[in-house]
Amino acid sequence: TRWVDPLGGDTTIAARTEALIARAEAILHEMEAAGGMPEAIEQGLPMQGIETAAAEKQSRIDGGRDRIVGLNLFPGSAPDNMEVLKVEHEAVLRGQVSRLASLRAGRDQSAVSAALSVLEAAARSGDNLLNAAVQAARVRCTLGEISDAIERVFGRHQPVVRPVRGIFQKHLGDREEFKTAVEKAKRFATSQGRQPRILVAKMGQDGHDRGAKVIASAFADLGFDVDLGSLFQTPEEVARQAVENDVHVVGVSTLAAGHLVLVPALAKALAQHGREDMLIVVGGVIPRDDYDALYASGATAIFGPGTPVVQSAGDILDLLLEAYTS
């Protein structure tokens, strides 16, 4: 049986394909001009491009320029309660710790030490790291131990944190809700002598940082002083950073179902620093059944999927004005 491409030879498809190729080649040339991909990564160029595209997309969605059925076009109503899998995080942690202890007790420690020494030496000399890492794994070295051995030579990568600015202002600056949020931020700054400051945090094994960076970009346009935490922080690390930077609010972005453990731990860590006054707001994929538990553990506000960014900023500013100026 033969088939044909119904769009084969279509001039519009061909033109859009050519345009896509040209844009991709322009990005490749930019990376080459920076000295190659390793140098471009050090300068933060690939991530800056990704973050710019994400902010552009989200601002067009929030502004109604990009229509998504079920979100800003023919929006439906989700049921208040949905059956979801509940993971007992503490039980999982205890199980993992127990298995790790059992693994370490049953392996040849001298072989482990020798394999890690070979791996570190390979990193220093430029030898094949993959082969050395595989050999280390075969004698039951853990991923953490393998990573630590390599880190002793190369250090740990610190990404360039530079939220893009101006995109939400460009797409949404003329809208009334945007202007209202900016006015609230100015009112707070006038009363407190500085801008409202927020730390946007990612905790646990949650590597989904697109939303957090979009929030950082938008909030900066709205008048916030924004700190963006690194990935995979512990609640204690987030609390320490929040206290050191003297933020007014910690915004937790959660997309990996760890909120019922991480948010209470963050509230406890802030309390240990004597900073129960810091607001904790949570955004991400959070079942409605979990809202009460989060509020009880210290969350001040919760923003579920699809919440417009400017709306969430306005709500947080209302909470800040109430807490600091009333």
Looking at the structure, tell me whether residues 185 and 145 fall in a common domain.
Answer: no
Looking at the structure, tell me whether residues 269 and 186 fall in a common domain.
Answer: yes
Looking at the structure, tell me whether residues 142 and 176 fall in a common domain.
Answer: no
Q: Is the pLDDT of residue 298 over 70?
A: yes
Asked if residue 204 lies in contact with residue 258, where contact means CB atoms within 8 angstroms, the answer is yes
Asked if residue 253 lies in contact with residue 212, where contact means CB atoms within 8 angstroms, the answer is yes
Residue 160 to residue 77: CA distance in whole angstroms: 39
**pLDDT (tens digit per residue) in 100-145:** 999 999 999 999 999 999 999 999 999 999 999 999 999 999 999 9
> How many folded domains does the chain comprise?
2
* Distant-in-sequence, close-in-space partners of 135: CB < 8 Å, separation ≥ 6: 115, 118, 119
Helix axes 45-62, 309-325, angle to 10 degrees: 90
In a domain, 126, yes or no: yes
Looking at the structure, tell me whether residues 180 and 106 fall in a common domain.
Answer: no
Looking at the structure, tell me whether residues 268 and 143 fall in a common domain.
Answer: no
- Its domain, for residue 285, covers 167-325
**pLDDT (tens digit per residue) in 14-71:** 999 999 999 999 999 999 999 999 999 888 899 889 899 999 999 999 988 999 888 8
**pLDDT (tens digit per residue) in 307-319:** 999 999 999 999 9
In a domain, 3, yes or no: no
Residue 1 pLDDT class (50, 70, 90 cuts) = low
